[in-house]
Amino acid sequence: MTDPALAPTRFIDSDHPAIRAFAAAHAGTGDERSRAVALAAAVREAVPYSLWSFQLEPRVFVASNVLSLDATFCAPKAVLLAAVARAAGIASRVGFADVRNHLSSPRFAELMDTPDFHWHAYTALRIGGQWLKATPAFDSALCLRHGVPVLEFDGRRDSIFQPFDAAGRRHMDYLTFHGEFDDMPYDRMAAELSRIYPRMLTSLARMREERAG
């Protein structure tokens, strides 16, 4: 029986040629742990992170599409890491939690309907029989701009947040875990985020239309 944490799915399309090519280019030829570490770093840097790209169109969460985006947010990047990991023979899942980001942009915070970030995403990777959490969302350029250390994954312990910025200020707290899934739980996530962030989603959609027009 195929391990569901290694199989391609609707969103984690690990059999797509672009995903397989990315994995081949970045995983290296080392052991499982070194391949996982290399892929986590590669995905972190491959697509810049931007909350302003937040939207709920299904195509945004398909791993092979994520590679073509100019910028995206945590969930698509977590899906991308899950896909390239599976393409490299590493079992993976996508995980979700609610977080409180103490250093979020005041401009973006004005759009939010709640002070918390619901359904923040990470990737769970099975290394040496142990499930470890890795967060590939925040690229190094973003961290530099915000004075936050780059979040590294060493393949030996969970790496899910920078609790403090470079100045020692609190950065992020995890509030509630929603679980880890063999594929993107799109319908559940989209329904909950549509309920929680109606004003923000409408505002961001309007901004995208204005830029496109």
**Domains of the chain by start residue, with CATH:** 17-204 (3.10.620)
Q: What pLDDT was estimated at residue 162?
A: 67
What is d(CA 38, CA 51) in angstroms, rounded to the nearest whole number?
A: 25
Exposure string (b/e) for 148-179, b if CB count within 10 Å is 16 or more?
Answer: beebebebeeebbbbeebeeeeebbeeeeebe
Q: What is the pLDDT of residues 34-92, one digit of tens each?
A: 999 999 999 999 999 998 999 999 999 999 999 999 999 999 999 999 999 999 999 99
Give the number of residues written for the chain. Answer: 213
H or E element in which residue 106 lies = helix 106-109
Cα-based torsion angle of the residue sequence 182, 96, 80, 181 in order, rounded to the nearest 10 degrees: 0
The percentage of residues in the chain with a pLDDT greater than 90, rounded to a whole number, is 73
Looking only at Cα atoms, what is the longest distance across the chain?
Answer: 50
Mean confidence (pLDDT) of the chain: 91
Low-confidence ranges of the chain (pLDDT < 70): 1, 102-104, 162-171, 213
pTM summary value? 0.93
User: Is the CB of residue 47 less than 8 Å from the CB of residue 69?
Assistant: yes
For the chain, the distance separating the N- and C-terminal CA atoms, rounded to the nearest angstrom, is 50
The residue written with tokens 């995903």 in the block is 19
Q: What pLDDT was estimated at residue 141?
A: 94
- Distance, CA of 156 to chain centre: 19
Q: What pLDDT was estimated at residue 161?
A: 75
